[in-house]
Amino acid sequence: MSVSDVLSSIWGDVSGTQQPLSERGVMLTAAVGALLVAVPVVWGVSRHVVTIAHEGAHGLAALMTGRSLQGIRLHSDTSGLTVSRGKPRGPGMVATAFAGYPGPALVGLGAAFLLGRQHALAVLWLVVLLLALLLLQIRNFFGLYVVAVAGIAVVAVSWWGSGQLQSAAAYVGTWFLLLAAPRPVVELQLQRRRGRARTSDADLLARLTRVPGLIWVIVFLAVTLGCLVVGGRWLLTAT
Q: Name the residue ranges covered by the structural domains of the chain.
A: 19-236
Phi, psi of 156 (to 5 degrees): -60, -45
- What was the pLDDT predicted at 195? 81
> Could you tell me which residues come within 8 angstroms of residue 96 by beta carbon, excluding any fewer than 6 positions away?
58, 61, 62, 65, 67, 82, 84
- What was the pLDDT predicted at 134? 96
First-residue to last-residue Cα distance in the chain? 36
The answer to whether the beta carbons of residues 55 and 97 sit under 8 Å apart is no
Q: 3-class SS at 180? A: helix
Q: Which amino acid is at 13?
A: D
Quickly count: other Cβ atoms within 10 Å of residue 139's Cβ: 14
Quickly count: other Cβ atoms within 10 Å of residue 89's Cβ: 11
Phi, psi of 82 (to 5 degrees): -115, 125
- What was the pLDDT predicted at 226? 98
Q: Which amino acid is at 44?
A: G
* Strand residue runs (E) in the chain: 68-74, 80-85
Long-range pairs for 96-99: beta carbons < 8 A, 24 or more residues apart: 96/58, 96/61, 96/62, 96/65, 96/67, 97/58, 97/201, 97/204, 97/205, 97/208, 98/61, 98/201, 98/205, 98/216, 99/57, 99/58, 99/60, 99/61
The answer to whether the beta carbons of residues 53 and 80 sit under 8 Å apart is no
- What was the pLDDT predicted at 239? 64
Q: Using 70 as the pLDDT threshold, list the residues of the chain that sit under it.
A: 1-16, 239
